[in-house]
Amino acid sequence: DPYSNDPPRHPALSVNSLKPFNAEPPPALLTDNYITPSALFFKRNHLPVPKVDPETYRLEIEGLPGGPVSLSLEELKSRFPKHTITATLQCAGNRRSEMNKVKTVKGLNWGIAAISNATWSGARLRDVLLYAGFGPEVAAQAKHVQFEGLDRDVTGTVYGASIPLNKAINEEGDCLLAYEMNGEALPADHGYPVRAVVPGVVGARNVKWLGKIVVSEEESKSHWQQNDYKGFSPGTDWDTVDFKSAPAIQELPIQSAITQPSEGSSVDRSMEEVTVKGYAWSGGGREVVRVDVSVDGGKTWHVANLQNSQKGQGPAPSPPPGRAWAWKLWEIAVPLPPEAQELEIVCKAVDNSYNSQPDSVAPIWNLRGVLSNAWHRVKVKIDE
């Protein structure tokens, strides 16, 4: 069994697939903490978790003048300044189950919690590329930075992805070769000993168990870069789809969801109000500036309170423009409408480019069930 070395996991996780291991935390737990505890952070593995010996680990860097460079874990830690960011990771398939309700899609049936927020520490990818020989003559040619994982399938194919070179090399891109998550060594499921953290970019490019970096004129040739993680029209089906016709997903669109109350639960009339909680995040470093909440299916709206730090710690300073990598949690108490017997709670977020979410799933449905970011709706009964 290639999965026999997989690490133990938290029993509260809701498991989508055991081998490979894919799981998300229960929604109500997700927004208990601004920083998701690593054990509860969603886990998305395509392959068995590789066992990597930190003593023999090497990170290979190719495609730069002067030939390949190889760094040990110790060198990565000691030769480059340690940089820490708080960044949210979201899987392209988060909320896929809502697309599945419209029409069957291919992929893991994620709920609303294939998204989590952590602090990440490591060397800046930029610093390591400059050390390895990146310079103007490379910048004139190369366009992409490819990553290869150390996880492989039975045929020896490794997980791979790439990001635009600009994102990797830009001082404000904040890309990390992270060796710590939430102040501790990366857990096995999250890429021990080193993973790429590409903030603002879809989870799939944040390659775990990072073994190789290639600076290249081309995107990664991997299945996941070329023939997966792309968006298509609702009219495109498996007979007509041409994966070459669409760009690989990088920055994700604006997203929000309700984590509390849960679908089908009830609130007591005597409470007079309902407390609604959730998360909101946008890709590309765009900051969430507002979350609107309705309890009558979208007829009337209320503005939720946004939170960018752990409750009780006071607000964190605003991120620099274009570098809002972390989600905001939000909360609001809305009065119960006098006559209603049922509530349709809805949320939608707005980012600082004034991007907002589409109101329904059908017009954004796509055969892979990615980029599912319609208004989130939860139905709740009122007990008289």
Specify the residue, 46 or 381, whose C-beta has the smaller distance to ligand MTE.
46
**Cα atoms found within 13 Å of the Cα of residue 187, Cβ hemisphere only:** 16
| 383 burial type by CB count under 10 A (0-12 exposed, 13-18 middle, 19+ buried) | exposed
Which residues, 6 or more positions from 61, have their beta carbon under 8 angstroms from its beta carbon?
68, 69, 70, 71, 128, 129, 132, 212, 213, 214, 215
Binding-site partner at residue 45 among Mo ion, ligand MTE, none, CB < 5 to 8 Å by type? ligand MTE
Regarding 168 and contact with ligand MTE (CB under 6 A), the answer is no
Neighbour order of strands in the sheet with 43-44 = 14-17, 22-24, 43-44
**Residue nearest to Mo ion according to CB distances in the complex:** 91
Listed residue (184, 170, 179) closest to 197, CA to CA: 179
Binding-site partner at residue 149 among Mo ion, ligand MTE, none, CB < 5 to 8 Å by type? ligand MTE
Q: Please identify, among the stretches 128-136, 163-171, 202-210, 328-336, the one whose residues bind ligand MTE according to the rule CB under 6 A.
A: 202-210
Regarding 160 and contact with Mo ion (CB under 5 A), the answer is no
DSSP state of 62: E
**Of the candidate residues 13, 34, 40, 43, the single one contacting ligand MTE (CB under 6 A):** 43
Binding-site partner at residue 207 among Mo ion, ligand MTE, none, CB < 5 to 8 Å by type? ligand MTE
Per-residue binding string, ligand MTE, 46-75, x by CB under 6 A, is xx----------------------------
* Binding residue count for ligand MTE, defined by CB under 6 A: 20
Regarding 190 and contact with ligand MTE (CB under 6 A), the answer is yes
3-state secondary structure of 37: coil
**Of the candidate residues 13, 34, 36, 42, the single one contacting ligand MTE (CB under 6 A):** 42
Angle 171-173-176 (CA atoms, 0-180°, nearest 5)? 95
**Of the candidate residues 44, 95, 368, 377, the single one contacting ligand MTE (CB under 6 A):** 44
- How far CA 84 is from CA of 37, 184, 220, in Å, comes to 16, 12, 27
Residue 313, amino acid? Q
DSSP state of 137: H
Q: Which of residues 219-278 bind ligand MTE (CB under 6 A)?
A: none
Q: Which of residues 88-107 bind Mo ion (CB under 5 A)?
A: 91
The binding site for ligand MTE (CB under 6 A) comprises 41-47, 89, 91, 149, 151, 159, 189-190, 203-204, 206-209
